[in-house]
Homo-oligomer: A and B are copies of this chain.
Amino acid sequence: MSSTPLSGTERTTLRRGKEKGRTDRRHLFEVLGAAFVCHLGVIVDDVPLVVPTIYGFDEQHLYVHGSVASRSLTRAGTTVTATVTVVDGLVLARSLFEHSVNYRSAMIVGVPVVCTDPGDKLAGLRIITEHVAPGQWDYARRPDRRELAATTILALPLAEASVKMRSGPPDDGAGPDAALGLWAGELPLHTGWRAPVPDPALAAGIAAPDHITRRSGAAAG
């Protein structure tokens, strides 16, 4: 992964919580690698719609897909944001004011490119598929011409982004509130895969492939 600093434009320069800001690209890739759903922000009729969707990424772009008919994906040329958030736990302090959340979050701002070339669309879909469900690109049936035509792939440049992270214990352990004698610490949150559940319509004798079963128990986020 490259370690080029993230851009620090007006809109992605952090104004609050600067101690939580990160400006190294490896932190951006750490966040992107730790989740698979982002929240896409797009302005429609003066309303900032926020829509969850899966994504994939490479060194230069975040890729999202959707139906050609989706209103949030058909506004090419307008600025959107994609925010990825991993919640790692609660920070329980002596005072409610110092309560916090341990998290890793990235907000990417940019004008997405709509992929029109079938080869580019397939490449984008492959990146998304292999990020969300590694191994399925080579296992499941790939999109045919009709399915590919019905799919939009957007590539959002990873040029402008802000990354925020918090970890560790609460901040009031050395302050006057420590004298209150209250318990304080972290309550970690864990997200992980469980065992695969076969489709009830599945014919007998078809076992789940290794690339699926081996995810069980693994962390996701």
The residues of A with any CB-CB pair to B shorter than 8 Å are 10-11, 15-16, 37, 39-52, 54, 67, 69-71, 79-83, 85, 87, 89-90, 92-97, 99, 101, 103, 105, 107, 109, 125, 129, 132-133, 136-137, 139-143, 147, 151, 169-170, 173-174, 177-178, 180-203, 206-209, 212, 215, 220-221
Contacts and interface: CB of A to CB of B under 8 A. Distances in A.
Nearest to A82: B50
17 contacts: A10-B45, A15-B69, A15-B71, A41-B41, A43-B46, A47-B79, A48-B80, A49-B81, A50-B83, A52-B87, A92-B212, A95-B142, A99-B136, A99-B140, A173-B200, A173-B202, A183-B202
A100 B9 CA distance: 36
Contacts of A15: 69-71
Given A81-B50, A191-B191, A182 B200 contact: no
- Across chains A and B, which 4 residue pairs bring their CB atoms closest together, nearest first? A173-B201, A41-B48, A48-B48, A41-B50
Nearest to A170: B199
Contacts of A182: 139-141, 206
Given A37-B85, A97-B147, A141-B182, 18 more contacts: A15-B71, A16-B67, A42-B48, A48-B49, A50-B82, A54-B101, A95-B143, A96-B125, A97-B143, A141-B177, A169-B201, A183-B209, A185-B199, A185-B202, A187-B212, A188-B196, A188-B197, A191-B221
